Structures are given as C-alpha cells and as structure tokens.
Chain A
C-alpha cells in the first residue's frame, strides 16, 4: 500500500526531508492521507488516535519529530524492539517527501483528551515532570517537553500518550536500545515507580 506510485512525479522531485508545510501540496496531502488511513491507521488508529497502547498516539505530534523518527526507522538507527519488528519494514519504501507528508498529516490531527490514572501516581508524576527531583539528579521533564507536555521543536509531544508506550520507551532509553543520550542519562537515574508516575501523569493530559 505504501508505494511511491501514489506520489505524483513532480512532487517526487523534491528530495529534501525538510519540506515546509506550505511546500506540501494538495495531491501530496491526499496521498499521505490515503497511506495513513489504509495502512498506518491499522496500528496507530484513526487520525493517529491509537487504540492499542503498544502503538503510540500520533495525533498532534510535531511533524519535525515524526519525520526524524521515520528517517531513523528507514536508516535503521532507532533500535527499540517494535522499531525493528514493525517500523523498519514500514519505513523502508518511504522517500523523504512521503515521510514529510505523513508527518505533516499526523501533526495536523487534533489530540484527544487524556485518560486519568491513579491520583497519587499522577500527583507524583506531575511533581517530577514539573520540578524534577534534585536529590536524585532528575531534571524537570517540562524543561524540554514544555510545561503542558505538548513538545517543543524536536522534543516530542508526550501529553495523552499511552502509559505502556511511554514505559517501554523509557526502558529502551535506559538500556540504550533506543540510543538518545539525554534520555539515556535521565532514564538511568529514574526509578521504575517514578517512570510509571510520570507516564501516568502524561497520559492524563489533554490537548
């Protein structure tokens, strides 16, 4: 289903991965929408609202971040287990233009309301997210991901993300299966119960 044939040849001439939103024309948008609905939605849900927590919510995610992840899947440099099992294959035939259009599609989708979890865990998670834990050497997550966890630039939106997915990523950072230096350092010192607290808090956040 993911085929270059879906993309008009004129657009295929664009080879940079850094397409601006105004460079993605109507036909490319429609092509990306077709791919998203017919293929990506099977795991990532309608309009990026994933149902199964194994797969991340993509609605409202920053296009720059999504594009970087798709490029990392294609280059096989992102190495967490589901990246290998699912996304290396999925991203293989995508060119930069298609990836940019897909990232743009999901970036334009409206996030849904968060899901509340255990109040005590949520409160602890909020504390870590907003203030960090100086004694444990944990910086506030909001310093990069924004005060409302809606992300900034290359730092992904985390609000409304599944607890299970966030936990899996934190563990992948911890073990360096997913090799991101900043997050590896933080996940090394973040105890599991605090990981769960932060993830529970993040899942509770809405748009």
Chain B
C-alpha cells in the first residue's frame, strides 16, 4: 500500500511538473525596446534565436541603445548607467485545448471530464528583460498560470558578461549566469528549456517519464555557471546547481527553509552541469553541434503528509545529451532543424531501498527532432517527432488501482509520437498557432496503456493558441 501511495505521489508530481513545463515559452519585446532593433534581429520567429540573438544573450542582454541616467566619480569612473526606459514587457497566452477522448471523472466512476479546456489566460507573464548595469543583465519572468491559479517565479537568467579583444580581431566572451533551470541559459533552441514546442497546452495528459535535465528541475533549482565563447563559434560552460524550492516552508521555522523531509527531490549538495558547443556560419546557413549534461544526486524526500528525511541513500541521475541545430535564414524562406538525444542513467539507491523502484538502476532515453519552415516570417509549419524509452520498472512507472491516465499498466516509460503546428504571425509579436500532438505509444502501450482500456491515441491533443508579446 505504501509503495502504491508513493508511486501515485510520484506520478502526481510528474503530472504537476509536466503541466508546468507545458507553458515554458517566452518572447521578450523589452529587448527590442532596449536595442532599438526589430524582433527579426534576434529571432527567426520568436522565440527561436538567430546568431545575433545568441550573441546578445551571451553578452549579458546588455546591448543598450537608449538614453542613460548617468553618474561618475572624480576619477571619471561610471557609477551608474541606467536606461531611461525600464526593460519591461508582458506576454499573454490564450488557448483552447481539445483532448481526443475525455478523461475519467474522479467524482463518479463511469463519468467523464469535458474534452475541451479554455485557458483565459493559460499564462500571463511579466518580464524584466534587459540591462541592469554595464555588463550585467537579466531575463526575469514572473508568471500567472491558470493551472495553479497563482503567480510564481518562472524562468530566470541573470548574467554578467564581458567581451575580450583578442589578436587578429577575434573575440572572447566570458561570463557568469545565475539561473533557475538547467539549459535556460543556453544559446541554442536544441536544448530542453528553449526547445520545441515553444508553447503547449497545460490541460493535457503528459507522459509519465522525463529526464531530470529535460525540465524536471525547472524553477526548483538555482544554478551558477561560468561560460566562454571564442570567436562567436566555440562555446564551453560549467557550473553547479543547488535546490531552491519555491513554495516550500519549514514546519519548525515557518520560514522558507531550511529544506527538510517534507520536500521532494532535493539535491544533495551541488550538482555539476557542463555544456560544449560549436557553431559555424556560412552564407545564410548556421550549424551548431554540441553536448550537454549534468549529474544530480537527489534525496527523494516526501510531502507534508508523508515526509521522508533528507538523509541516507540518494538517487543519482547522470544525464548526457547531444544536440544539433541547423538554420537557413533567407529573406523569404526560413528553415530550421533542431534535434537532441538525452541519455539518463539512474542509480536509484534511495528509491530501491524504500521500494519505490523495483530495479536498483534504470535508464531513460529521449529523442526529439523538429523541422520548421516559415514564409516571410508570417506563415509557418513545424513537424516534429518525439520518443522516450527506457528500462521497465513497475514501481517507478506504476499501474493505478483505479482508472488513472498518468500510469503504466506494464511499468514502462515508453512514449512516442508526432507533433505538427501551423503558425500565422500578422505582426512579429503576435502569433496564432494550431498544434496537434499524436501519440503512437503512451506510457508503454499503444492500446490499453493504463489497464483500464485507454489507448495512447485517446491523449491526442488539438491546441489553439493566441500568443501576444508586448
């Protein structure tokens, strides 16, 4: 019974997380206000970055063409350089989601939920995105999400960067990023935080399994990473992540911490993160290949009603990933391709000893590939394939005792499917999207994956979105 309860708790946490990452995408017009440059300088179509956008980010979001409030000392050193216009912007996502088959209604066996959900808004975000001081800039996002009905911290990246002039007019950018989501600081759209889909429904059934680096720890950690970029082509980054839970309260202090056993998935100490990438441009083409990875030691912890001390064995997740991005940016035609493969090795000492995992070690592989075409940055179409597979573990990916959809009857994490999207942008900061997600397999099965007769295709989703950034 304990196993089932923990397993259901884990499944519920996965579901909550997937709902959160369903609304990850962003576009930040305050950058345009600050630089005086149109969206197309930094984006093919938002939020995908061009080479210039990547360099703007690597340089700390500090390129600033606005009039400054200024102060100096007697040595003529700058004490203050503050833009006269604060780099603020907002984003609203209004959406409609249709599930292929309704969900079971938990209030009555045999009854069903509605098949469609209106998000009005699905998400509303406010940004401070731009320069704070010379060499120091930030993208700080605060989001209202209709799933939680509350306002919370969203993706954040505060960075310090400088540019060194090397012999033969080459450059070396060096910097530090403070951020709250592994890969949110990354420059390419082939890594998880900024990968396709850039927006998706938060009113859907999401797969049971995802790698830790694939958004699982988003907004629950704080990372400090240092990076170098040589000659705008070779990039290296290394750093560490530490737990920084939002909404956690220590029962004894009544304050924000220290974290204890009422909190789940807490990093033991600091977890290392590394990234390397090479980008090459030729004429209108731009190709990036790279690798990224992290190793997380997590205490499973618990909840307020079922605490588990943050001591003893830990679960170790070693994530190693490769990625690739190709862009063709023409005056009329734009094409981009992003791909990534993430391999996660799990050494589940904690979960195995407590009976939450059957196997002492498991593995998980995730592959995504996406191709996008835009005509005059106005009409776009995207197709993508996604697949997750791994070792079976009936406790880690549990069946449910009653109808439940984020479960696996055969204890497998395997999910694959296709995603298609049509986009229309009447203006560069207004996007209308129609997206369809089709599952060939869901949580280990194409038919009756939950043991209660639900097929993978029942979770197919149609999603219409109006995305305003201003």
Q: A residues within 8 Å of B by Cβ?
A: 1-3, 5, 9, 33-34, 36-39, 41-43, 46-47, 51-54, 84-86, 88-90, 92-93, 164, 168
Contact present for B165 and A90 (CB under 8 Å)? no
Contact present for B169 and A51 (CB under 8 Å)? no
Inside 8 A of A164's CB, which chain B residues have their CB? 331
Inside 8 A of B281's CB, which chain A residues have their CB? 51-52
Known: A52-B283, A92-B65. A47 touches B169 (CB 8 A): yes
Q: How far is the CB of A17 from chain B (nearest CB, A)?
A: 19
Contact present for A37 and B59 (CB under 8 Å)? no
Contact present for B38 and A5 (CB under 8 Å)? no
Inside 8 A of A92's CB, which chain B residues have their CB? 36, 65-66
Known: A46-B169, A85-B38. A51 touches B76 (CB 8 A): no
Q: Is the interface of A mostly helix, strand, loop or mixed?
A: helix
The answer, among B35, B165, B170, B282, for a CB contact under 8 Å with A51, is: B282
Known: A37-B165, A42-B55, A93-B65. A54 touches B36 (CB 8 A): no
| Interface: B52 (CB within 8 A) | yes
Contact present for A85 and B282 (CB under 8 Å)? no
Inside 8 A of A38's CB, which chain B residues have their CB? 59, 163, 165, 171
Contact present for A1 and B37 (CB under 8 Å)? no
Which chain B residue shows the least CB distance to A43?
A: B52
Which chain B residue shows the least CB distance to A48?
A: B169
Known: A37-B170, A42-B55, A92-B65. A52 touches B134 (CB 8 A): no
Contact present for B232 and A42 (CB under 8 Å)? yes
Q: B residues within 8 Å of A by Cβ?
A: 35-38, 40-41, 51-52, 55, 59, 62-66, 76, 78, 81, 134, 163, 165, 169-171, 231-232, 281-284, 329, 331
Inside 8 A of A36's CB, which chain B residues have their CB? 169
Known: A5-B78, A84-B38, A88-B36. A54 touches B232 (CB 8 A): no
Inside 8 A of A84's CB, which chain B residues have their CB? 38
Contact present for B232 and A85 (CB under 8 Å)? no
Inside 8 A of A33's CB, which chain B residues have their CB? 165, 169
Inside 8 A of B63's CB, which chain A residues have their CB? 1-2, 39
Q: Complex Cα distance A156/B284, Å? A: 24
Q: Complex Cα distance A33/B164, Å? A: 11
Contact present for A86 and B81 (CB under 8 Å)? no
Contact present for B65 and A41 (CB under 8 Å)? no
Which chain A residue shows the least CB distance to B76?
A: A9
Contact present for A90 and B36 (CB under 8 Å)? yes
Known: A2-B65, A46-B170. A54 touches B38 (CB 8 A): no
Can you give 27 A-B contacts (C-beta < 8 A)?
Answer: A1-B63, A1-B163, A3-B81, A5-B134, A33-B165, A34-B163, A37-B165, A37-B170, A38-B171, A42-B52, A42-B232, A46-B170, A46-B231, A51-B282, A52-B284, A53-B284, A54-B284, A54-B331, A86-B38, A88-B37, A89-B35, A89-B36, A90-B35, A90-B36, A90-B37, A90-B65, A93-B65
Give me 13 other A-B pairs in contact (C-beta within 8 A), A2-B65, A38-B165, A88-B37 excluded. Answer: A33-B169, A38-B59, A38-B163, A38-B171, A39-B63, A41-B171, A43-B52, A46-B170, A52-B283, A53-B284, A89-B41, A90-B36, A92-B65
Q: Complex Cα distance A85/B283, Å? A: 20
Contact present for B165 and A85 (CB under 8 Å)? no
Shortest 6 CB-CB distances between A and B: which pairs?
A: A89-B36, A85-B38, A38-B163, A89-B37, A92-B65, A42-B55
Q: Complex Cα distance A5/B194, Å? A: 34
Q: How far is the CB of B305 from chain A (nearest CB, A)?
A: 53
The answer, among A37, A54, A89, for a CB contact under 8 Å with B171, is: A37
Q: Complex Cα distance A3/B81, Å? A: 10
Inside 8 A of B284's CB, which chain A residues have their CB? 52-54
Q: Complex Cα distance A9/B52, Å? A: 30
